[in-house]
Structure 1
């Protein structure tokens, strides 16, 4: 539902993945064309990881359930439910869930997440 004063998102854009991670973008480039900010519901399965990346956007993460590991300039940081982090644009980071339970979290990117600006390493 949407009008000039608000927009309710009931059917986020589900980003196709091949690693078992759930990404449901509620607002952002893929869901509503917003390039200023993206907000996504994420579920990282147990023992999931992605390559290092150096995004051209700030990323905020809030953990709802489970734990998530961040390697930032080779420093290991582990967040648990109720904790959050801001990672500024231009920071080299690797996200993972090396634990035995899924991690449910919200990711907010400003400007919006863009595959062309995530700069993942091979």
Structure 2
């Protein structure tokens, strides 16, 4: 039998959260052990936010629906459906959805997302 040249992911690893955010990691450390890259489907509920963080990985975000707010260093940016952003490793950022509708997006991290390398600040 020939080796397959692809990996089909139908059951992402759902990261447990306590803030109502959905994180379904399709590829990455938690789902398939890949430390080079992670790809996750995310849904940030209305009025959701995280503390500031300074990740040790680049993070790319593409918005499918809704809006997402980024505070990068001291600049506020709001991404809307169809827009994307790359935030370089070592950049202080806060992610939030202060709006009244959910925000659905894809997040790609390189190297892969790692809770030990996200460097979240205390609230």
TM bin, normalised by shorter chain, reads over 0.9
Number of residue pairs matched? Answer: 120
Map of 1:97 onto structure 2: 97
Corresponding position: 1:42 with 2:54: no
Secondary structure of 2:31's match? helix
Q: Quote the offset at 1:4 in angstroms.
A: 3.6
* Distance in 2 of aligned mates of 1:8 and 1:106: 17
Gap regions ≥5 residues in structure 1: none
Q: Distance in 2 between matches of 1:118 and 1:112?
A: 11
Consecutive unaligned residues of structure 2, counting only runs of 5 or more, are none
* Aligned: 1:20 with 2:26: no
1:48-94 residue CA offsets vs partner (Å, 9 max, x unmatched): 00000000000000000000000001210000000000000000000
Query: What residue is the counterpart of 1:120 in the other structure?
Result: 120
Aligned to 1:66: 66
- What's the CA shift string for 1:76-113, capped at 9, x where partnerless? 00000000000000000000000000000000000000
Q: Can you list the C-alpha shifts for 1:8-31, whole angstroms capped at 9, x where unaligned?
A: 000000000000000000000000
Q: Once superposed, which parts of structure 1, at least 4 consecutive aligned residues long, lie more than 3 Å away?
A: none
